[in-house]
Every structure is written in structure tokens, then in C-alpha cells.
Amino acid sequence: MVLGMFNGVPDNEVIDIDTYCPKCGGTGITPFGEVCTCPNAHHAFGVGVSCLDVPKQYAGRHFNSKLVPSDCGPTYGSYLQKFHDNIIAMKYVNYNCLICSPIAHSKTVLAYSVLESLFRKNIPTFPVCTILELRRILRDMDAGVTGDYGFSTPVSNLMSAPYIFVKIPMILSWEVYPTMVDILDRRVRRNLSTIFIFDGYIDDLEKFDKSNILRSIKGNGTFHTIDVHNFYKISHDSDIQKFNDMLKEFQA
């Protein structure tokens, strides 16, 4: 028999399995970290995968650099592939970074591919959230409040998952920057890594950073710094900057 899995943690459901699998030893996962094809994998991970809070359109999609848009040049796809593989291999320790590139350029696909791969290795994960969503969660945690955040993963995983992906919203506001520092501080003190992703360019983030917080935390990714990786569309202006300029004029 095996225990049902909930985000990498055994739940209270016990399932009887009569067939022993020599490939996975009845665990549902092979020594190579792959989900087995036997019935044990279905019982152990069939329910658990849905608890990863991975949207259906991203579920089961393994990241492949060949599918990355090529308008940022070949370096971009190569970087994402290496980054993806290193996280799955748990090679990044005490490392924080910010990946900036245009919208629809495979960052979210990479994030969910990493979450599924880590989950299959029985490593705690946390859903992809925006900074402002995490701001609410952190505020509730400080107040001892349990809220409904629209996902089934335990909120405590936010402070135990070795890697989390945090999306910076395209509509920028002042709360974004101090919340980045707050997330970094809490996770750095627990030896955890944070990956921020932004559908735009670093120029846009710095332009709306009136307190120069982002500039003060740029570094090599250790301690309370973030390692910034910025990729531009070739010969294209910043669409997100134009969008924010128009929004600012509209709100004025």
C-alpha cells in the first residue's frame, strides 16, 4: 500500500495496491525522478498533481527551449533552459533572481514545468503568484488569519518551498517594490530562493521605482540581492513602458 500524496506530503488516504513495480518499487516515482507508468504512480500522484495548482493549459508541459520565441535572440532560450535544468537539479542554493523579458516568452511555462518536476521529487512547492497576492498572504500570516486564496497548496509552503516563482504585475504600483524586499527578507532568513518574473524590461521597473528600492537590491543574487537577467526584443521599443505611460496619463 502507499499513501496518497498532497503536494509532496502524504495525506491520510491509504490505497491498497496489489502490484509491485520493479521500476519504482511501488512508490510511483523512478530513481531518476520521473513519474512511473505503473498504477502506483496514478494512485500516488493522480490526485496530488491537481494540488500543485497548475492551470490545465500548463499541466504536463515540459519546458523546451526550442519552443521559446526567437525574437530575443538565441541566448534567451539557452539561458532559460540552463536555468530550468539547474533548478530541477537543485543546483541553486540561497540564490534570488529577476527574469525580465516580453510577455508570452515562456517564463510562466518554465515556472510550472519546474513546479511539476520538483513535486515529482517530493519537494515542497508553492503556486505561481503575483507580488500583490503574496502581499495579502503575508499580511494574513502576520495577523494569524487563514484566508481563501484560490489554491489548495498549504500556505505554509510559502516559507518552506526551496524555490518559488513570483510574478511582478504589468500595472506597477508603489507596493510592488517594498513587497519584493519583504519576500526576499523572509525567505533569505530561511535559506530559500526566490525567482521574480516580469513581462517587460528592467528599464520599466526602474522607471516606476520612485524610492530606488530595486536599484539598491541589484546584485549577484546572494543575501538580500537579486541577480537581474534582462532580455529585449530585437529592434523593438518597450510595450510595457508605453502601456504604463498611457495609464499614468489616464489616471492624472
- Divide the 252 residues of the chain into consecutive groups of 10 and give the mean pLDDT of each group: 37 43 70 60 46 82 90 93 95 95 95 93 94 95 89 92 96 94 96 97 93 94 96 67 58 58
The CA distances from residue 4 to 12, 41, 155, in Å, are 7, 10, 19
- Are 61 and 49 in contact, with CB atoms under 8 Å apart? no
CATH superfamily of 65-251: P-loop containing nucleotide triphosphate hydrolases (3.40.50.300)
User: What stretch(es) of the chain map to CATH 3.40.50.300?
Assistant: 65-251
The whole-angstrom separation of Cα 40 and Cα 42 is 5
pLDDT of res. 167: 98
Residue 122 backbone class (left: φ over 0; alpha: ψ -120 to 50; beta: rest): left
What does 206-219 look like in DSSP terms, one character per residue?
HHT-TT-HHHHHBS
Total-model pTM: 0.75
SS3 81: helix
